Structure 1
Amino acid sequence: MNEQSNERSTRKRGRMWLVIALVVVVLLVAQGIWSRHSAHAELERDAGEHSVQTVEIIKPTRMKPTQDLVLAGDIRAFSDAPIFARTNGYLKRWTADIGTKVRKGQLLAEIDAPEINDQLRQARADAQTARANYLLAKTTADRWVQMAKNNSVSRQETDEKTGDMLAKEAAFNASQANVSRLEQMVSFQKIYAPFDGVVTARNTDVGQLIDAGSAGIGRELFHIQDATTLRVFVDVPQAYARLVTPGLPAELILNEERNRKFEGVTVRTAGAVDPVARTMRVEVGVKNPSGELLAGAYAQVRFHLTNASASYTLPGNALLFRPDGVHAASVDANNRVKLLPITLGTDYGTRVSIAAGLSGDERVIVNPPDSIVDGAAVRIGRANATPGASQPKQGGEAS
């Protein structure tokens, strides 16, 4: 009896250990399956998160309606003339040197040309001879005309005398014209100032041989400038050509006097853009009664431009250039990409004005990849008003 009880106890313990072993095995298998499922779910979650691209966004910056445009200017005198001789000879004397202020009609120099004087005397003598011949021929022709009325002479002889008188008259007129020409040549021996101004160059001296002619032929004797009013020439880029019009105020700034500004006004524009440089020539007038500004100097000209249709600006790295045009990639309320077609305006270097296509409320992606498509899901990483791009100098300077 005792043996049967022991055997039953042994069997029960064996079955219990077997059940415990089976439970442990089942728990181990369940734990392995659960850990693999958790790892797979986490892997899928990470893959899903990494499949959504993280982007940075900015807001378009609205431009101010006014801005300053600073350009290089070339200062020139209002009147500028090189003085050349009109007759040959030797310089007898000069009366004005560099820096001399002269008035219109003031004597600058005198040339000694005895050959011209001799030619004038000869021409006057020839004119007197021609005049005497003409008067004699005229008297003879008048007499023959009177005699022809009485049929005292033939008509043929009368016509010959009349023709001789007309020929002598033409010779007399030619001699008078020659005298007038030589008188003008003699008058050219004295050189006068053509307008009020300052002598900026004297390239001759007493005793030097003077050759008549202009630039490239003769020597420039003097150079005169009238700098009481200055012409400042500026080449305005095509983007601003329509904004610079006659009457627009301008400021002249010298590098050596940055704290001083000289007022000017736009006098005229070329009205056309240079097809090579893509700029328009503009002339600015500046009053210079005291002579503080020097002709030929370099200066900067500032225009205060006003644009009624103020637009927005974006950095250059926010633009997408596609075959169908330029786009800006924006993010909508559902964090989906929306490609906006835009029209570019003025290029300020780091930023570009947008003429059309933006309302100002868009969230524009900075550095969008070329593969970005409309409707793609994105995640916003960081918002930055000016991501690595400086603002254009609106209301400041655009040069």
Structure 2
Amino acid sequence: MKNKKVNNSLTIKLSLSLVTIVLFSYCGQGEQTPANAKNSIQYDQALPKTVAIKIDNPEYQISVPAELRPYEQVALYAKVTGFVQRLFVDRGSFVKKGQLLAVLEAPEMDQRLNADRSSEQRLYSDYLFAKQSFDRLKEAFRTEGAVADIELERSKNAMESSLAAYNASKAGTAGTSQLRQYLNIRAPFDGVITDRNVSVGALVGSTTNVPLFMIAQSNRLRLTLSLPEKHAASIHQDMPATFTVSSRPGETFSTKLSRSASLLDQRDRSLKIEFDVPNSQNRLQGGDYAQVKLRLKRTNPTFWVPEKSVINSQSGTFLFILNQGKIKKVAVKEGIRLNSLTEVFGQLKQEDMVLLNPSEETKEGKVNTANNI
């Protein structure tokens, strides 16, 4: 009986021990839950260094290559076929508008002109005779029955036909005379002869493709340049510019914008602009390369961020922004650079904060603000 009581007591103690172990195990698991929760928070990123996006519209300066060209430059051809009879200029000659440069000869043209003038004179005489006949019949027609109506009408038609023939001949003579004027080669504007390709006795005209002279306007030049697309919207009328040329070291020339192509060149995505440059003293030469400095300004303010905030990678150009506790990757296009700032274009807002020193390994998502308090 005593042994039975001892066994029951041992059974109760073992049961209590098991219960205690189970309770401790349960309690141990309950204490680990906050630790797990803490570990899950550590997956959130720490709060990075950020800077506010700047909105500004500063004036900036760029330097671009350009070319000085003659304001006007043409090749002079002979409109009619003939032989060069006389030459009055050579390469390097300065000429005035309308100045005689060369004289051609074409004897057959003189003969044609004489024939046309003779024909014109004959037809004029025929017209005068027909007109006199009509005037007489018209005067006689006043006497009743002296001249039939049909005779008067026939005389009038003959006079009008003679007049038409005379006018046609007169126009032909004027045309031949005008062609003969083309035997005299004259300068179309003030300029300088840059090339002479013929000599006295040479056959020129529509049968040859060689120009007699090359003439360029030297007292006025065009400064032409191609402005990159990202600067195309920053130009304005009468925009000032300064430029230098290698042939005049140490000298700086000033000018103003004269004209713009308005549309981008599809080949290189640039805007062609021109500046007129007075050159009355011939200090500059057409054909020189120039380096132009422009002071530009956008028409509207744009976004600016620190240069170190922009990432250029094989996947593109982008930056990271922080907004409402979330980091987001935004693709951008770079504009100009000014000091330590870079102009950017993209889906940005004024309230966005830009990560100051991001890297390609920067992750998008929420940030852990608790670790930074």
Partner of 2:304: 312
Match of 1:266 among 257, 279, 283: 257
Match of 1:245 among 230, 236, 239: 236
Q: Which amino acid aligns with 1:346?
A: G
Match of 1:171 among 165, 170, 173: 165
Match of 1:152 among 146, 166, 174: 146
Partner of 1:367: 359
Counterparts in 2 of 1:250 and 1:378: CA distance versus 1, 3 Å = farther
Q: How does 1:320-359 map to 2 (within 5 A)?
A: 327-329=319-321, 338-339=327-328, 344=333, 346=335, 352-354=342-344, 356-357=348-349
Q: Which amino acid aligns with 1:313?
A: V
1:129 aligns with 2:119: no
Partner of 1:7: none
SS in 2 for 1:227: coil
Superposition deviation, residue 359 in structure 1: 6.8
Does the Cα contact within 8 Å between 1:344 and 1:354 map onto a contact in 2? yes
Worse-matched range after superposition: 102-111 or 285-294: 285-294
**C-alpha distance in structure 1 between counterparts of 2:252 and 2:109, whole Å:** 54
SS in 2 for 1:171: helix
**C-alpha distance in structure 2 between counterparts of 1:125 and 1:205, whole Å:** 35
TM-score by length of 1: 0.70
Superposition deviation, residue 244 in structure 1: 0.8
Does the Cα contact within 8 Å between 2:320 and 2:358 map onto a contact in 1? no
**C-alpha distance in structure 1 between counterparts of 2:352 and 2:196, whole Å:** 64
Does the Cα contact within 8 Å between 2:98 and 2:186 map onto a contact in 1? yes
Match of 1:190 among 184, 188, 198: 184
Q: How does 1:56-71 map to 2 (within 5 A)?
A: 65-71=58-64
Counterparts in 2 of 1:54 and 1:174: CA distance versus 1, 3 Å = same
Question: Could you list the per-position Cα deviations for residues 11-51 of structure 1 after superposition, in whole angstroms to 9, with x for gaps in the alignment?
Answer: xxxxxxxxxxxxxxxxxxxxxxxxxxxxxxxxx9xx99x97
**C-alpha distance in structure 2 between counterparts of 1:60 and 1:209, whole Å:** 77
Q: Which amino acid aligns with 1:65?
A: P
Superposition deviation, residue 279 in structure 1: 2.1
Worse-matched range after superposition: 272-281 or 221-230: 272-281
**Count of residue pairs the alignment pairs up:** 326
Superposition deviation, residue 314 in structure 1: 3.9
Question: Could you list the per-position Cα deviations for residues 79-118 of structure 1 after superposition, in whole angstroms to 9, with x for gaps in the alignment?
Answer: 2222111221100011011111111121100001111111
The Cα RMSD (Å) is 3.8
Does the Cα contact within 8 Å between 2:310 and 2:318 map onto a contact in 1? no
1:84 aligns with 2:74: no
Does the Cα contact within 8 Å between 1:86 and 1:212 map onto a contact in 2? yes
**C-alpha distance in structure 2 between counterparts of 1:255 and 1:59, whole Å:** 45
Does the Cα contact within 8 Å between 2:328 and 2:364 map onto a contact in 1? no
Q: Which amino acid aligns with 2:138?
A: V
SS in 2 for 1:232: strand
Worse-matched range after superposition: 141-150 or 129-138: 141-150
**C-alpha distance in structure 2 between counterparts of 1:285 and 1:260, whole Å:** 18
Q: Which amino acid aligns with 2:238?
A: G
Q: Which amino acid aligns with 1:246?
A: Q
Match of 1:202 among 179, 196, 200: 196
Counterparts in 2 of 1:376 and 1:289: CA distance versus 1, 3 Å = farther
* Unaligned runs of at least 5 residues, structure 1: 1-43, 381-399
